[in-house]
Chain A
Amino acid sequence: MSARQIGFIAGLIVLLGIVVICAIIKKSSLKGEYDERQELIRGRGYKYALLTVMVFNAICLIFGVEGQVPYFSWDYLTLVSIMLGTLVFGVYSILHDAFIGLNNNVRSFVVLFAACIIANLFGGIHHLQQGLLENGQVTFATGSNLTLSVGFVILLITILVQHFSSRED
C-alpha cells in the first residue's frame, strides 16, 4: 500500500470519527430529513448524475486511443467522472432548494465546502507549480487536489448564490 493510500485511509477514518462524534454530541440522526418535494428533486438529481457519469465514461471509451485517453490517466478520469456526477447532483438540487435538509442549515455546508477547498488548494497549487503532467499525463496524484478544489468552489458559489437569491415571497 502506498503512502498516499495510507494517508487517504487515515484521513477518511479521522473524518468518519469527527462525523460520529458530532452526531453523538448533537444527539441527532446522521440521515438528513427532506420533505416530499425535496425527495422528488433529489431523485431526479441522482438520475441526471448517473446519466452524466455514463455519458462521460462512454466518451472516454470512444475517444480513447489504444485504450488510453491522451493527456489523462484512467485513475484521474475516474475521479473526474465521480466529480461530474456529484456536481450535476449538487448543482441541480441546490438550485431547486433540495440540497439542504430540514434539520440542516446553509452555514454548515458553507463551512464544510470552504474547508474542503482550503484543504485541497495547498496540494493543488503545489502540483501546479511542480507541473501537472507525470509521464505526459495528468494523474490522480497530480490532478486530484486541483479538481476537487474546483468542484467544491462550484458547489460553494452555487449554494451562496441560491441562498441570497431565494428570499421569502
Chain B
Amino acid sequence: MKNLRLKAARAGMDLSQQQLADKVGVSRQTISAIEKGDYNPTINLCISICKVLGKTLDELFWVE
C-alpha cells in the first residue's frame, strides 16, 4: 500500500528523496520503495524517518 502520508510529509519539509535518504542513512531507492509501498521498513527505520520529518509513527505509518 502506498505511503502517501510519508510523501506528503517529505514534500512539506521540502526534502527530495535523496535528501531524506541521506539524513536517515539509507539509499534513495529505499525511501522510494517505502513511499510506493514496495517495502515495509523496520521499526528503527520508521523511528529515524519520523524524527527527521518531525512526525509521530501513527501519523506516518499507521494503516487506517
Q: Which residues of A contact B (CB under 8 A)?
A: 35-38, 97, 102, 166, 168-169
Residue among A37, A166, A169 facing the most chain B CB atoms (10 A cut-off): A37
Question: How far, in angstroms, from A166 to B29 measured CA to CA in the complex?
Answer: 8
One of B36, B39, B41, B42 near A169 (C-beta < 8 A) = B36
Residue of B nearest to A34 (CB): B27
Q: Is the CB of B36 within 8 A of A35?
A: no
Q: Is the CB of B33 within 8 A of A37?
A: yes
Q: Is the CB of B32 within 8 A of A168?
A: yes
Question: How far, in angstroms, from A38 to B39 measured CA to CA in the complex?
Answer: 11
Question: How far, in angstroms, from A102 to B21 measured CA to CA in the complex?
Answer: 10
Minimum CB–CB distance from A130 to chain B (whole Å) comes to 45
A36-B45, A37-B33 known; A169+B17 contact, CB < 8 A: yes
Q: Is the CB of B29 within 8 A of A97?
A: yes
Q: List, in ascending order, chain A residues with CB within 8 A of B45's CB.
A: 35-36
A36-B42, A168-B17, A169-B36 known; A102+B26 contact, CB < 8 A: yes
Q: Is the CB of A38 within 8 A of B27?
A: yes
Residue of B nearest to A102 (CB): B27
Q: Show 20 A/B contacts (Cβ-Cβ < 8 Å), sorted by A.
A: A35-B45, A36-B26, A36-B42, A37-B26, A37-B27, A37-B29, A37-B30, A37-B33, A38-B27, A38-B30, A97-B29, A97-B30, A102-B25, A102-B26, A102-B27, A168-B17, A168-B18, A168-B28, A168-B32, A169-B32
Residue of A nearest to B22 (CB): A102
